[in-house]
Structure 1
Amino acid sequence: MSTKISTTKYALSLHTTTPELGLAISNFSGDIRSQVWNLGRDLSSLIHQYLMEFIKPQTWADLSFIAVAKGPGGFTGTRIGVVTARTLGQQLAIPVFAISTLAAVAWSQASKSQNTKTLAIEMPGQRGKIFAAIYQFIPDTSALTALLPDTVMTPEIWQETLANWNTDYQLIQAKSDLAATVTSILELAQLDWQQGKCPHWSEALPYYGQHPVEI
């Protein structure tokens, strides 16, 4: 089953796993725009205001689905983004796609070339741990497959994992400008949408990976 967005219909994505707010909107027919703001601690109080301004001249009724970065990332920011996306999805009765932060980084790198490649993504976590994942990009099908799903581990175990990996890979460190991958969040969600996936807003859950405090 294939689902297509009418050229008059749009999709919106949010990225809040860092102190930056990333928003993107597109009808996937040439009309796309995105923007990033460094809101810091004001993210929770300003996100709705920025959303209201950003979506213009489109309206909420123009949206077919919403996509959101589900983490890993900062606990508070990730929660704010997912809760906002779920609320919008519930109010508008449209699907909400929760997309991995690491998958978005992989997609933003992989889509720059037309070669099949394996990408190892690492991102600093808390208390000396790192978030890690390994993805494979296949350009012929525009597919991004998780060979090692998002996980949290010590740097030593990650290095051992890479040392024992049986194929060549490109190592990518996800440290900054993550909100700029909000367009990748949107594109990955659209790939799922085209395959007929239609996740209920209640299925959009954050991936924290770690508890915010030591337990």
Structure 2
Amino acid sequence: MSAVTPSWLLALHSTSEVLGLGLAPLAPFFQASAQAAQSPRINSHPLGRRLSNDLLACVEQLLPAHQWCELGRLAVATGPGGFTGTRVTVVFARTLAQQLALPLDGFSSFLLIAHRLRQRAEVGDQPFWLLQELPRRGIVAGCYAVDEWALGGIAEREAPRLYGQLDDLPPGARLEARVDPAADVEQLLRLSGLAAVAGSAAPWANVLPLYPTSPVAQP
């Protein structure tokens, strides 16, 4: 019996109330074509607090467990986002990558938004800030800029972190960091595919959830 050739890239995004999943063939990313990622399958599931119970079933709906041996790479959004939702999906992705000996790419949800905004020409060439307000805690913000040397053409100049108030942010354009699960999963697939082409080893142990605020801090 011939060995199964890994052929799929699976992406998971759960930093909002909606679980986003994406599946794309890996081979087209290695072809010299402007349409590298052909016909990805993307599903959105508004699970909310049911994520812990329903995550596995949703993944199996996209790719049954008996076909996981056909996976060649994984990608996951690392946050910032809800503590439980982000943690559950990152842990699942790490476990799957460890057990199947697969590369795992982790990208911040803000970076995915930045790539989406740039692709839709909603931001220009100047650096910009993405903001998410946390009631009674402050503002989570990260800075992004066009960079031809960065993966996908956008660099994360400042990783998302907590600021006390708007006045604490350095100058620059400011936009709301609003998650679009399906569109951001598409960006997750694209960036992971580019990382695969670049030969990134992407060890699973390096991928951790991003928590700008402490999950045990008092409000």
Q: TM-score per shorter chain, which class?
A: 0.7 to 0.9
Q: Is residue 2:180 matched to residue 1:172?
A: no
Report SS of the residue matched to 2:215.
coil
1:108 maps to 2:106 = no
Report the secondary structure of 2:199's partner residue.
Answer: coil
SS in 2 for 1:130: strand
- Separation of aligned partners in 1, 2:198 and 2:124: 22
In the alignment, structure 1 segments of 5+ residues that lack a partner are: 1-6
- Name the aligned partner's letter for residue 141 of structure 2: A
Contact 1:72 1:209 in 2 (8 A): yes
Partner of 1:27: 25
User: Counterpart in 2 of 1:4?
Assistant: none
Shift of 1:101: 0.7
Whole-angstrom distance in 2 between the partners of 1:26 and 1:18:
22
> TM-score, normalization: structure 1?
0.83
Aligned to 2:192: 189
Distance 2:11 2:191 in 1: 10
Instruction: Indicate the residue corresponding to 1:125 in structure 2.
Output: 134
Q: In structure 1, give the amino acid aligned to 2:10.
A: L
Deviation string, structure 1 residues 62-111 (Cα, Å, up to 9, x no partner): 22110001010000000001001001101111011111010000011112
Deviations 1:155-194 (A, max 9, x none): 2344x412xx4xxx4x321235346411112212222222
In structure 2, how many angstroms separate the alpha carbons of the residues matched to 1:26 and 1:172? 30
Is 2:150 the counterpart of 1:152?
no
- 1:39 and 2:14 aligned: no
Secondary structure of the corresponding residue to residue 120 of structure 1: strand
Distance, in Å, in 1 between the alignment partners of 2:55 and 2:6 is 25
1:69 aligns with one of 67, 70, 77:
77
Unmatched segments (≥5 aa) in structure 2: 29-37
2:103 equivalent among 95, 98, 104? 95
TM-score, with normalisation over the residues of structure 2? 0.82
Residues 1:81 and 2:89 are matched in the alignment = yes
1:204 is aligned to 2:207: yes
SS of 1:94's partner is coil
